[in-house]
Structure 1
């Protein structure tokens, strides 16, 4: 017997659960179907939330032939068969799963068929199509994002435990029914009505399904929300997203992102907090999950409540922009390496002033290339006592260097 999720697949739009923002009354996909003016589209979102169901419902509602292929496993031969069918019948709806894996050969074959309307393509993907799908295909398709089911779409237990994944929810429901039915058969009571309790349903689902995909949108959205919550000093939100990342078991991503946050978002405003974060990361890596959650929570709370500054990342990005966009002059001769025979003849290292030979270990001399003499990349904010101290020192030294340049030119 085929799985319940397969047997429950809708044959028209009215049978689709959820996605009201696309198929509800007056919404875009329903309007397209009712007007019989279908265009190719890409449906993207987490697994199990209705991409295939909507495609089959569109085909059922319009009475077009419906075929399903996988861009990763099906070849040009299968595409040609669908194309022939579209030629014979006028139009065929093709659900192309994992469309982000469509190679150039298949893409080149499909493009003219989409232009002619011989094939109405419904691409399905868990990847962000604006990143993972070629512009040639994207430009010929409407792009629709599907959402996980909400508690308004089905019973609270099934949705909360299934986390909006309808396929997982239906499969769990089937497991609950079949396991209960087996018990009744053992008692020769299989003709009786089967009643599934909330406890039996919860036992069948066991663990809440999480939409974790190390290379998909869900992963990047999660680490993005994690960083933005710490940057925004929302401790509770930061802990929430940390918990979701911990539940995914992806300790590597947590540690990497936390190290980035420590220096990108807190940085010079509180160097001690950034240092503490690195120590916490090392401890987390040493003990592993689940104990790693303890040092990670310490770090997240401290970073969320620390003063914030992005002056360091802004400074290096400004310097990189000059390197990438401007013609950069040679390194001043006095700074060039002089630790080899013949360097002096080239003028390398000549007239270099050794700062430690001077008062306060500082002496004015040119360090930047000629065309960047007056460049200023570091713009400290001074939001904390630490950064305010850096700011004062930077500005004082910058002024002294500027005065020296003015006096010597």
Structure 2
């Protein structure tokens, strides 16, 4: 029978063996206190892959001596849940790790809820998706939500040392020499994902020939070959993906080209060109906007070039756009103006369109009062003092110029000039 992966074999069996997540399982912390007091309650563990969600569940069960079962909300059926429920009736309590709990359908949820209420099943839901968005309120109200974070390099180093010395479940039965540079890569390149680090270590050890003295010497080159792209956890459907995109936009908005390039590199390395170029287009108009309209146009050109040439060359025009947007003056005045207008419309503040602005290209328009429109091109400078907003909101001013860039300063000057003229100049006679 094939041996289980190293990361699986090294799962902790008691709370003290958990690596990392000290803010949850350290002495005096909430999960540790729950275990010590024998007052376990259902919970949801939310965080990236390989950060210890399953390990925490396993350790809770081991420390409490309760039966421990694992199911997957997406792939296991209601029948599997019923088997766990029967076991809970016989033994009193079962700790159930339900992976991908965000994919729990209503039938399974309805079956599970009474068992959570009675305490027969202590549910530990594991998810990489934001539970406040992706998990039903009925489940959330019966659980506590705890966030687990990517492990620090020191935590991964500790776990690697344990695995190398553990003769029962780890790699301690073989004399392994792990070069410091190789270990450093495992602890830093895996982005806080312990599962990825341990499985790469095992692959490196198992695939490296023994030396004449029987030692397995694992070098930096060996680990590089085994890691490949495992460190990149930008799952296109997971929170890590959205966190990188969020950090990317906020870095450009904050005028930090180095941070913006870093997060862009993560998306490029993960092969996610689509998300990167879409976000760049949004940033160009949302965050730079009227402060530098030319930068928005150049971003469109850069995106079109990137789409045409594809990766890896796409990174070149995108780098140009990223740096320009990061260092451009910023203005969100256009976005804010549209948001303000939408707010009025959505709350019923829109009034009646003035009759002279209504469509007059049909027979009977005059009889309906659709007359009086003044054609601006018939007047000097192409402008005439005329009300365009409905009477109910005639003084609304959605656009609030920002003068952070040369172009918007010019727009602001024209805007203020027109506003002043509208309030001072007497209205012209109407043209039908």
TM category, shorter: over 0.9
2:413 to 356, 379, 392: 392
Give the structure 2 partner of residue 234 of structure 1.
256
Equivalent-residue separation in structure 2 for 1:264 and 1:147 (angstroms):
31
Moved more, 206-215 or 125-134: 206-215
Q: CA deviation at 1:237?
A: 0.9
Unaligned 5+ residue runs, structure 1?
Answer: none
2:347 to 325, 344, 356: 325
Give the structure 2 partner of residue 280 of structure 1.
302
RMSD of aligned alpha carbons = 1.9
Equivalent-residue separation in structure 2 for 1:194 and 1:233 (angstroms):
49
Query: Following superposition of structure 1 onto structure 2, how do residues 105-120 of structure 1 map, counting pairs within 5 Å?
Result: 105-120=107-122
Residues 138/406 of structure 1: CA separation in 2 closer, same or farther (3 Å cut): farther
Equivalent-residue separation in structure 2 for 1:258 and 1:178 (angstroms):
43
Moved more, 242-251 or 316-325: 242-251
Give the structure 2 partner of residue 93 of structure 1.
95
Equivalent-residue separation in structure 2 for 1:210 and 1:263 (angstroms):
29
Q: CA deviation at 1:327?
A: 4.0
TM-score by length of 1: 0.93
Give the structure 1 partner of residue 187 of structure 2.
159
Q: CA deviation at 1:86?
A: 1.5
Equivalent-residue separation in structure 2 for 1:75 and 1:144 (angstroms):
26
Give the structure 1 partner of residue 106 of structure 2.
104
Query: Following superposition of structure 1 onto structure 2, how do residues 195-274 of structure 1 map, counting pairs within 5 Å?
Result: 195-207=217-229, 209-274=231-296
Unaligned 5+ residue runs, structure 2?
Answer: 158-183
1:12 aligns to 2:40 (yes or no): no
Contact persistence 1:72–1:98 (CA under 8 A):
yes
Q: CA deviation at 1:299?
A: 0.7
Contact persistence 1:163–1:208 (CA under 8 A):
no
Deviations for 1:106-131, whole angstroms, at most 9, x for unmatched residues?
Answer: 21222221122111110001101111
TM-score by length of 2: 0.89
Residues 327/382 of structure 1: CA separation in 2 closer, same or farther (3 Å cut): closer
Equivalent-residue separation in structure 1 for 2:215 and 2:406 (angstroms):
72
Q: CA deviation at 1:344?
A: 2.5
Q: CA deviation at 1:147?
A: 1.4
Give the count of matched residue pairs. Answer: 401
1:376 aligns to 2:401 (yes or no): no
Give the structure 2 partner of residue 30 of structure 1.
32
Residues 105/228 of structure 1: CA separation in 2 closer, same or farther (3 Å cut): same
Q: CA deviation at 1:332?
A: 1.3
Deviations for 1:187-231, whole angstroms, at most 9, x for unmatched residues?
Answer: 9x7x93434334323332234521111121111111111111111
Q: CA deviation at 1:291?
A: 0.7
Give the structure 2 partner of residue 139 of structure 1.
141
Give the structure 2 partner of residue 58 of structure 1.
60
1:362 to 383, 386, 391: 383
Q: CA deviation at 1:404?
A: 5.6
1:289 to 304, 311, 326: 311
